[in-house]
Structure 1
Amino acid sequence: MTTNTSTRFRSTTQAKRSRRSAQDRRVALLFLTPAALGFLVFLIWPTVRGIWLSFTEYNLLTPEKFVGLANYERLFSDPVFWHSLGVTVQYVLINIGLQTSIALVVALLMHRLTQSTLLRGIILAPYLVSNVVTAIVFLWILDVQFGVANQVLEWIGVGKIGFLSDETWAIPTIALINVWRHVGYTALLIFAGLQMLPEDVYEAARLDGAGEIRSFFSITLPLLRPIMALVLIMTVIGSFQVFDTVAVTTGGGPANATNVLQLYIYDMAFGRFQFGYASAMSVALLLVLGIITFIQFRLTRAGSNDMN
């Protein structure tokens, strides 16, 4: 009798769990549906459409004409494309190097000295300003004739510098503008990673006589590697897509010195209505980003965790 009762109880419990599980799946699907639709409509479909257009000749006024690999053949022999890619790589190297280094220092200072919520808000504030507004403000500040920065440089005897009008200064200046805007967000990502590091490891290191610098290179950096890998992948992908800051401040000048790849793609698509060729360059950029992300993932061993 007891055995039958126990069996019925288990069966009833399993049935309730099955119903609850099915109900949870329905609720989960209900919440996931809008995001999935948005993903399909705004990401998957444009990607597939762009890949198809890269094999066509299309200008909005006439039907699409399939041309095979002609756009890609043109791309490989286009000196402006390779120049734009080189300018973009130059921007990415400056931006990522400075942004990651500064963000790491800021995150370490916050972790060691203060964890104030107000300070985190202040550090994040530039990231909340749109790229266009940031570019306009710095365009005024760095103006050769009337900008505050050049007025100060002239007052201290350095002389005026064409930050956005000189070929040598233009790309580093744009990189620094975007470093100012994004460094707080990157620092908070690294700070979140620092919060997860086990404190007992540092206590053991202090007992063994390890100083701050030794602990940083032997403990902090190795344990922080998965977070740093994620940050690098995100920032590199974002940096390769730089557009609005350049479009507002220099428009690709002077003498194509800041004609980054995204600006060249935009000009081909919406300036010259060569959507097929613009799509081919977009697909090429997608492949470049995919290769770079794969290499970063493998080199940084982002899939493993040193805390285990």
Structure 2
Amino acid sequence: MSTTTRRDDRRAAWWFLLPVLVGFAVFYGYPAVRGLWYSVTDYSLINTPAFVGTDNYARLAGDAEFWNSLMVTGWYVVLNIGSQTLLALGIAALMHRLTGSLVLRATLLLPWLVPNVTVGLLWVWLLDTNLGFVNHLITALGLSPVGFFTDAAWALPSIAAVNTWAYTGYTALLLYAGMLQIPSYLYESAAIDGAGEARMFRAITLPLLRPVLAMVLVISLIGSFQIFDTVAVATRGGPVSATRVIYYFIYQQAFNYFNMGYAAAAAICLALILGVLTAIQMRLLRASSSDLA
């Protein structure tokens, strides 16, 4: 009787993974370790780093500007993820149930393909208080012009709206791809039983979309915490620190004030916060399980 030996492809798999692992180690692993080292030093770009222990972290704990930047970032995350996810869900559901047009999908992706700096400059021009096209329309209606980027009450919602415009199409396509995995016979059975589109969306689409929705929310959360380009172009953290998000705070500490060690400590804190929030999201949404299994 002949025996068959199971082929072990693990060695070949590691060879294929090697370029990616080397790239990750060089461009992510090493900078992360280096940043962790800088976070416990007094490095300022022009001096030899000297070990200061947890002094930078203790300073962060008592820094009102650091905590304010976290609060501003948190408020931005709520605005951006809330609006972006709701709009993307609506668009994806409409495409799934009404049309699968390739032209429509390509059009939705266009804003995401535009560089963030270009998006920021475009909307700075459109929303300018004195010369912007949007304010021309507002004044034509007999209303007072709005300082979208110069009024502290409007600045952060405006930044969130700009990025919602830029990323909603991409998010919608991710959700749409998840909806395509849901068997069509479930909708057909529900329709025979008299369920409407709204009922089918709540009872079929949302529960079965949970793993993809969890992935989208994690990606959106991390991306929202990393907002920088639009703020740097449109408001530079103003007015009165109303849009100074955590990334812009880190940038200022590192390249305006040359407190590299302090900036590295703030970056490490941000990484830890994102890790905790991501773990909580994945647990609450049960991202590793699917009702389709």
TM-score tier (shorter): over 0.9
The runs of 5 or more residues in structure 1 that have no matched partner are none
Q: TM-score, normalised by structure 1?
A: 0.92
- Alignment partner for residue 250 of structure 1, among 235, 245, 256? 235
SS of the aligned residue for 1:75 comes to: helix
Corresponding residue number in structure 1 for 2:168: 183
The runs of 5 or more residues in structure 2 that have no matched partner are none
Q: Distance in 1 between matches of 2:134 and 2:15?
A: 53
Q: Distance in 2 between matches of 1:287 and 1:122?
A: 36
Corresponding residue number in structure 1 for 2:177: 192
- Alignment partner for residue 124 of structure 1, among 95, 109, 117? 109
2:143 is the alignment partner of 1:143: no
CA positional deviation for 1:203: 1.8
Q: Distance in 1 between matches of 2:111 and 2:187?
A: 33
Which protein shows a greater Rg?
A: 1
Deviation string for 1:130-157 (max 9, x for gaps)? 0000000111111111110101100011
Corresponding residue number in structure 2 for 1:63: 48
- Alignment partner for residue 266 of structure 1, among 232, 251, 259? 251
Residue identity opposite 1:86 in structure 2: M
SS of the aligned residue for 1:56 comes to: coil
Corresponding residue number in structure 1 for 2:79: 94
- Alignment partner for residue 155 of structure 2, among 153, 170, 190? 170
Q: Which has the higher helix share?
A: 1
Q: Mean alpha-carbon deviation: is it higher for 216-225 or for 202-211?
A: 202-211
CA positional deviation for 1:31: 3.5
- Alignment partner for residue 232 of structure 1, among 207, 213, 217? 217
Corresponding residue number in structure 1 for 2:58: 73
Residue identity opposite 2:157 in structure 1: P
- Alignment partner for residue 104 of structure 1, among 66, 84, 89? 89
Identity over aligned pairs, percent: 49
Corresponding residue number in structure 2 for 1:82: 67
2:42 is the alignment partner of 1:42: no
The number of equivalent residue pairs is: 293
CA positional deviation for 1:210: 1.6
Task: Output the aligned Cα RMSD.
Answer: 1.4
- Alignment partner for residue 287 of structure 1, among 262, 266, 272? 272
- Alignment partner for residue 186 of structure 2, among 178, 196, 201? 201
SS of the aligned residue for 2:97 comes to: helix
Q: TM-score, normalised by structure 2?
A: 0.96
